[in-house]
């Protein structure tokens, strides 16, 4: 049974750095094709993809790339996201999700098949 | 900030059909597969459709997906009160450097 669970601080002060951990079970972060992404959602707003790390340690970032760093510890089944220079607009629910990356010989297909329950992060002084 | 455009809301009576459009460009929908997610208030999104038109196990066939050019569509037939939720499309966008995943602006479905 695949599960993902986010953990991290609920309250962060502006300008500080946020560190979130996603602990997974039911699959290996080192298994070919396994990817994990971080996605956030400000209150009442749309989903926003932040970053992705693949089984082979390839990393991809959104336009917030200068503030983001994603890493994984396969032995501990954890994916860590750090975000620097927090601002109140970064307030929202942060999700980690397993991303299926399927290559069929001509196209690569991506979709999120399992999600964590999310963790609410508030940026306020 | 979302590069995929969806209508903010759609509504219909129970038993009726609704469609949700997702408009993008050649660098995202035009060259990649689309997935759809259902989200109830206060809960995490759930995969509804992947690879443009495939349903994961457990998703009823009342939900369907299609893609044409740079647009995708989610259809819900036999609308039920339990379908009231927000729906998001998503796909990979290859326009910037290594690429990034993009979501739609989201659509709220209301059952009248």
Site from A47, A95, A100 to mutate, B interface, most B CB atoms within 10 angstroms: A47
Across B50-73, average pLDDT: 97
Looking at the predicted structure, is the pLDDT value of residue B84 above 70?
A: yes
A23: tokens are 């602990």
pLDDT for res B28: 93
Distance CA A10, CA B63 (A): 36
Q: How far apart are CA B15 and CA A54, in angstroms?
A: 42
Strand-pairing partners, residue B91, are B102
CA distance A22 to A36: 9
Coil, strand or helix at B53: coil
Does pLDDT of B96 surpass 80? no
Q: Which residues of B touch A62 (CB under 8 A)?
A: 100
Tell me what pLDDT residue B1 has.
Answer: 63
Does pLDDT of A38 surpass 90?
Answer: yes
Burial A74-91 (b: 16+ CB within 10 A, else e): eeebbbbbebeebeeebb
Cα distance between residue B53 and residue B68, in whole Å: 11
Per-residue pLDDT, B87: 98
Interface probe with A: pick from B5, B29, B36, B92, most Cβ of A within 10 Å: B92
pLDDT score at B24: 96
Q: Do A49 and B92 touch (CB under 8 A)?
A: no
What average pLDDT does the segment A99-124 reach? 93
- Are β-strands A34-41 and A59-61 bridged in parallel, bridged antiparallel, or unpaired? unpaired
Summarised one tens digit per residue, pLDDT across range B3-55 is 899 999 999 999 999 999 999 999 999 999 999 999 999 999 999 999 999 99
User: Of B92, B100, B103, which has the smallest distance from its Cβ to A47's Cβ?
Assistant: B103
Handedness of CA A116, A122, B2, B6 (dihedral sign): positive
Q: Which residues of B95-112 are buried (b: 16+ CB within 10 A; e: fewer)?
A: eeeebbbbbbbbbbbebe
Q: How far apart are CA B48 and CA B65, in angstroms?
A: 9
Task: Tell me the pLDDT band of B98, cut-offs 50, 70 and 90.
Answer: confident
- Chain A residues whose C-beta sits inside 8 Å of any chain B C-beta: 37, 39, 46-49, 52, 60-63, 95, 97, 99-100, 107-118
C-beta atoms of B103 and A46 within 8 A: yes
Residues A47-94: tens digit of each pLDDT? 999 999 999 999 999 999 999 999 999 999 999 999 999 999 999 999
Identify the band that residue A103 occupies on the pLDDT scale cut at 50, 70 and 90: confident
Count helices and strands in chain B by DSSP H and E runs:
0, 9
The residue written with tokens 């999120």 in the block is A112
């Amino acid at each position: 049974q695949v599960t993902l669970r986010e953990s991290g601080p609920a309250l962060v002060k502006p300008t500080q750095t946020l560190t979130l951990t996603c602990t997974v079970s039911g699959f290996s972060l080192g298994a070919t094709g396994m990817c994990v992404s971080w996605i956030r959602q400000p209150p009442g707003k749309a989903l926003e993809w932040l970053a992705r790390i693949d089984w082979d340690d390839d990393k991809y970032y959104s336009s917030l790339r200068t503030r983001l760093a994603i890493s994984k510890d396969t032995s501990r089944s954890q994916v860590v996201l750090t975000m620097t220079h927090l601002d109140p607009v970064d307030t929202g629910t942060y999700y980690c999700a397993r991303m299926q990356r399927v290559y069929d010989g001509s196209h690569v297909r991506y979709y999120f098949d399992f999600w964590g329950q999310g963790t609410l992060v508030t940026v306020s002084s | 900030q979302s590069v995929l455009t969806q209508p903010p809301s759609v509504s219909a009576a129970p038993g009726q059909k609704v469609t949700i459009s997702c408009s993008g460009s050649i660098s995202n929908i035009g060259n990649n597969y689309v997935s759809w997610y259902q989200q109830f208030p206060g809960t995490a999104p759930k995969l509804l459709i992947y690879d443009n038109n495939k349903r994961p196990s457990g998703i009823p066939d009342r939900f369907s997906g299609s893609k044409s050019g740079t647009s995708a569509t989610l259809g819900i037939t036999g609308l039920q009160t339990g379908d009231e939720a927000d729906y998001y499309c998503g796909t990979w966008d290859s326009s910037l450097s290594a690429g990034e995943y993009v979501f739609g602006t989201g659509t709220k479905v209301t059952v009248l």
